A = this chain, B = another copy of it.
Amino acid sequence: MLNDATDALARLLPDGVLRDMAPAYLEEPRGRYKGRAGLIAAPRTVDEVAAIVRACADARVPIVPRGGGTGLVGGQVMPDGTAPLVLSLERMTAIRAIYPEEGVIVAEAGATLHQVRDAAAAVGRQFPLSLASQGTAQIGGVLATNAGGVNVLRYGNARALCLGVEAVLPQGQIMHDLKRLRKDNTGYDIRDLLIGAEGTLGIITAASLVLAPVPAETGVAMLVVDSPEAALSLLSLAQARMAGGVTAFELISGQGLRFLDAAFPTLRQPFADRPDWLVLIEVGLPAGLPVDAALEDLFTDAAEAGLVSDGVIARSGQQAADLWAVREMIPEANRHIGAIASHDISLPLSGVARFIRDCSALLAGMADLRINCFGHLGDGNLHFNLFPAEGRTRDPYDGIRRDLSRAVHQMVVARGGSFSAEHGVGRLKAAELAEWGDPARLAAMRAIKNVLDPAGIMNPGVILA
């Protein structure tokens, strides 16, 4: 696959960084984009990353940084243009240091999220960011996409959990900013500019991350609510009672439960009648407050307020895991059914319930379809996914897929929401960002991209098309 130009570039790279071409370096999970590459490089040190970036900048060869490759918006592949160098962080996997007493871990970009979470647990702390893909997703990618997940409500997105980064900027400069400080106001927030930039402004090679204390008591319940409105009132009540101790607050729809029935007929669901709406709540509480009692009291209050009609409280770790399994198998069930279109959206919390109603009505007027709306309700973050009507295939929807998605995103934007909540923009939503982003903000983004990456080599086509 080498041509003269890539051959010349290959000779400029540090010894031993090149890897054989393999399909895995060119793939993304949903198969929407086919990646291409002239070279695959897997550096072992930040100095090697810098040398590769300098060589590519000189040769004007694009770089596609690659972590675990689990991103869902095509940010890890480059289907068009000059064949890029794919820079895999797979060899930079060290946990460089861990400081249990200060609640900090310093990990290299190629460490998986699972590896960091394990290292934290081994010293009696937790790294609270949790994703379905955590066995494969790497810290560098988690930061580059400012990933979210189920614990954002309490602990924040990836950005909120990062105290410092080491990174290679687009002209090969190494930025040493691996601080472990909770307060540091020494100029512009370059760290947060790299976080969420999806590899277009540089390559994060290591990060210092926040470890949180493990709550003395943890409990999980699944509660039946009449509506998303009731779910949000329940959240308010829970937050008031728990002093911010609500760790996760997930919404599940009856449609999701019926998809589970179809995909996993043997999965035991907690409610025989498949209610229209369920909430999965997890709380982490101080010592001295029995979590069962706290959840029972919450249930009693919520029932008196007419917010919940039924519920189960996990009485063991196994029961808690079983309740979580119901939530976590929904994406798999969705794949089994086969979505027409998926949407990773967020809305101001007080507009979520009305959005679900209004958007469902709008779509019902456009096509006969099923909606599985689920996700991180506590963050206002919904996965609003569209499926064929019962007994139909996806094909008849091909012609309107784009219109359906556009209708969803237009309503989201009109109501102050985001069409890219936790998965990033990547290639998939670059055109929508250009259309719907605030012009002054977009102009600032373009100016920053041009000045930091004048050769335009860092992950071109991602975020800014």
A interface with B by C-beta (< 8 Å): 99, 101-104, 124, 145-146, 148, 152-153, 156-157, 159-160, 169, 173-177, 179-190, 192-193, 195-197, 201, 212-217, 232-233, 236, 239-245, 284-289, 293-294, 297, 346-350, 376, 378-381, 416-425, 429, 433, 437-445, 447-452, 463-464
Contact = CB atoms under 8 A, between A and B. Distances in A.
Contacts of A422: 183, 185
A253 to B, nearest CB: 19
Contacts of A245: 243, 245, 286
A106 to B, nearest CB: 11
A347 B99 CA distance: 13
Given A177-B441, A440-B173, A440-B174, A421 B145 contact: no
A175 B236 contact: no
Contacts of A189: 146, 159, 189, 192-193, 195-197
A433 B196 contact: no
Contact of A184 (B186, B241, B346): B346
Given A285-B243, A286-B289, A441-B175, A185 B152 contact: no
Nearest to A153: B182
A461 to B, nearest CB: 13
Contacts of A156: 160
A392 to B, nearest CB: 32
B99 A350 contact: yes
B416 A179 contact: yes
A160 B157 contact: no
B440 A447 contact: no
Given A103-B239, A152-B182, A182-B379, 6 more contacts: A175-B444, A186-B437, A187-B425, A187-B463, A190-B444, A192-B193
A180 B346 CA distance: 10
Nearest to A173: B440
A384 to B, nearest CB: 14
A213 B289 CA distance: 19
